[in-house]
Amino acid sequence: MALCAAVVSGGALFVDSTRTATNAVSDEQINPDRIGEKPAEEEAFSRNGPVVGANGNRLYLDKGETADWGLGNSFRNGLVMTGATPHRLILFTFDDGPDRRTTPLLLDRLDAVGVKAVFFLIARRITGNTPIERQHANIAREIVRRGHIVGSHTHDHLQLPLLGNEDALYQVTQTERVFQKVFNRRPWLIRPPGGARSPRIDRLLWERGYTTMLWNIGAGDFQVSTAEQVFRTWRNVFERRETDEGERGGIIMLHDTYPWSVDAFQLIVMNLMDRNCELLKRGEELFDIVDDPSFFFRARGNRTESAVSPPATLDSNLLASRQERLRRQTAERCRLSTFQ
Ligand SMILES: [Zn+2]
């Protein structure tokens, strides 16, 4: 069984499996005129300074249904993303898929609430010519077609710091070959299995232009077997992040290979929506489920290969306009639910 968030030994950095989340506005609703537009190449590949906030519209460009967006082309050469943010911004990520038994249902549920996510795929699952592998490759393409982003989770889900240089490089480059075959593009985002990193692995990934995406909100979904258990763990972690570390949002990590995780996704989204009704009454910042890693991303600039991104500096006008839109939608939704 593939365990995504294991304790890592042997000199690798330990990454806690449990950190999180927000409330969503689909970009189709936000900015219909910009759908399908692509940023100029030089912007997308900017190496200096924060990408986020340079242009108020930037976060809504090049959304969905394009292979460049879906393969994370805009996020190459980034600092290591941890998900830490003082804002109530949430990004959902799903690891270890695709799985024909669970991923299609998750895709429908994501669509139902207008949320885009990032899927870190195990390349071994989508290569080969068995009927199941071909089905998985089709599901992988469907993930991109529906506007989500896919990234590398290596070929065999091995912890990279435990491998020699040649084997670690194989895990990365073989995944690129598989993605090239399935998507006609290589991936630019990577989540090392288990979140296991080391200076050597960071350098290897850096040299190949990757941006490493970790997570700050896990839910231990690989350790349990019901959605309620996942939800409870998520809630505890989520609340602890704010209490202990002042992180009110972040990157949530679940696995789309478990049916209880697909159900837990719905519970988490509903909980965030309920919280927003309360936050609105108190006049506080609302949870905002984003569909763009730019909220947590910085281009690498001239830093070293192991540099971890500080929370991205976001344009205050952009955040304010998103919050204003959310407040209007939340007011309407919460009023409706009150009268049901
Ligand atoms: Zn994993």
Ligand 1 centroid distance, CA of 270 (Å): 25
Domain ranges of the chain: 27-338
Please state, rounded to an integer, the average pLDDT across all residues of the chain: 81
Ligand 1 centroid distance, CA of 154 (Å): 9
**Residue carrying the six token digits 């890693």:** 293
Ligand 1 centroid distance, CA of 168 (Å): 16
Closest CA to 259 of 287, 236, 229, 289: 229
Ligand 1 centroid distance, CA of 213 (Å): 12
Closest CA to 92 of 38, 159, 19: 19
Ligand 1 centroid distance, CA of 65 (Å): 25
Ligand 1 centroid distance, CA of 180 (Å): 21
Residue-wise pLDDT for 145-189, tens only, equals 998 999 999 999 999 999 999 999 999 999 999 999 999 999 999
Q: How far apart are CA 329 and CA 326, in angstroms?
A: 5
Ligand 1 centroid distance, CA of 97 (Å): 9
Ligand 1 centroid distance, CA of 322 (Å): 32
- So what's the pLDDT on residue 89? 94
- So what's the pLDDT on residue 17? 33
Angstrom distances, CA of residue 20 to CA of 9, 120, 141, 238, 326? 24, 17, 27, 5, 19
Measured over the CA atoms of residue 265, residue 56, residue 48 and residue 44, the dihedral's sign is positive
Average pLDDT in the 62-91 region? 84
pLDDT surpassing 80 at residue 13: no
Closest CA to 298 of 27, 130, 81, 2: 81
Q: How far apart are CA 160 and CA 23, in angstroms?
A: 34
Ligand 1 centroid distance, CA of 94 (Å): 9
| CATH architecture of structural domain 27-338 | Alpha-Beta Barrel (3.20)
